[in-house]
Chains A and B, each alone.
Chain A
Amino acid sequence: AQTVTQSQPEMSVQEAETVTLSCTYDTSESDYYLFWYKQPPSRQMILVIRQEAYKQQNATENRFSVNFQKAAKSFSLKISDSQLGDAAMYFCAYRSANTGNQFYFGTGTSLTVIP
C-alpha cells in the first residue's frame, strides 16, 4: 500500500495571510495523481485541487495552489489570502494511474483561521 504522510496535525493562519500545508508520499510508480480535499465542520469532503504526476506545471485553483516536487515526493498546498471559510481539515490523497482504483489518504491537517 502507498503511504501518504501529513506531518502537521494542526496549523493556524491569520486571516488574509498565506499558509502552506505539507504532504509527502511514498511510491515507486512514475504515473499517479495527487489530490487535496477539504473537510469543513459539516464533515463533507470537498475536492480542492488535483495534480497529475506527468505534468511539471503546478496546479492552481483561485487562491489554492500546489508545490509539486516529484523527485522529493512532496505535494504541498498553499492557501493565499486565507478566509474564515478556509478553516477545515485538509487531506492529501494519492492514486496510482495504473494499479487499482484505491485512493490513499493522509491523516489530515486541521487548519484554524484567526480573524
Chain B
Amino acid sequence: DGGITQSPKYLFRKEGQNVTLSCEQNLNHDAMYWYRQDPGQGLRLIYYSQIVNDFQKGDIAEGYSVSREKKESFPLTVTSAQKNPTAFYLCASRFSGPRQPQHFGDGTRLSIL
C-alpha cells in the first residue's frame, strides 16, 4: 500500500540529546514537509523540501535540521538547541502542482524525559 510512514510513534529525549524522526513515503511525491502541532496552535511549518538535496526553512526552524538525500525520505533531527521540543510532529508530502493537497503520516509524539 502506498503511504507516508513516520517512525517511531512515540519518542523520548533526554536533556542535551539530539533525536531523529523518520519520514518515508512511497507515493512518488515531489515535496515533503515537517510540521509541529501544539495544543491550540494548529500546525506550524518547520521545514519543507521541493526536490532532493534542497530544502527551505519554515516559520519555526530554529533547533531543527533536515536532509533530503532521497526522494522518498525526509528525516527531521530535533537538536539540543530546541529547548521546548515536546509536541506532536507531522510529516506530509505532495505532488508538485498548485492544486495538489498534502497527504499526512500518522505523526510522532516527542516528549522530554
Contact = CB atoms under 8 A, between A and B. Distances in A.
Interface of A: 1, 9, 33, 35, 37, 42-47, 50, 52, 91, 95, 97-98, 101-103, 105-108
B106 A91 contact: no
Contacts of B45: 102-103
B106 to A, nearest CB: 5
Nearest to A49: B101
Nearest to B43: A105
B101 A102 contact: no
Given A42-B106, A43-B107, A91-B43, A50 B88 contact: no
A44 B5 CA distance: 11
A102 B43 contact: no
A75 B99 CA distance: 16
A43 B106 CA distance: 6
A105 B46 CA distance: 13
Interface residues of B, number: 25
A88 to B, nearest CB: 13
B2 interface: no
Contact of B104 (A45, A95, A106): A45
A42 B104 CA distance: 12
A14 B61 CA distance: 41
A43 B58 CA distance: 22
Given A42-B106, A105-B43, A1 B101 contact: no
Contacts of A9: 40
Contact of B42 (A44, A50, A95, A108): A108
Nearest to A35: B101
Contacts of B104: 37, 44-46
A31 to B, nearest CB: 8
A95 B48 contact: no
Nearest to A33: B99
Given A91-B43, A107-B42, A47 B48 contact: no
Closest 7 CB pairs of A and B: A45-B104, A107-B42, A105-B43, A97-B98, A105-B42, A47-B101, A43-B107
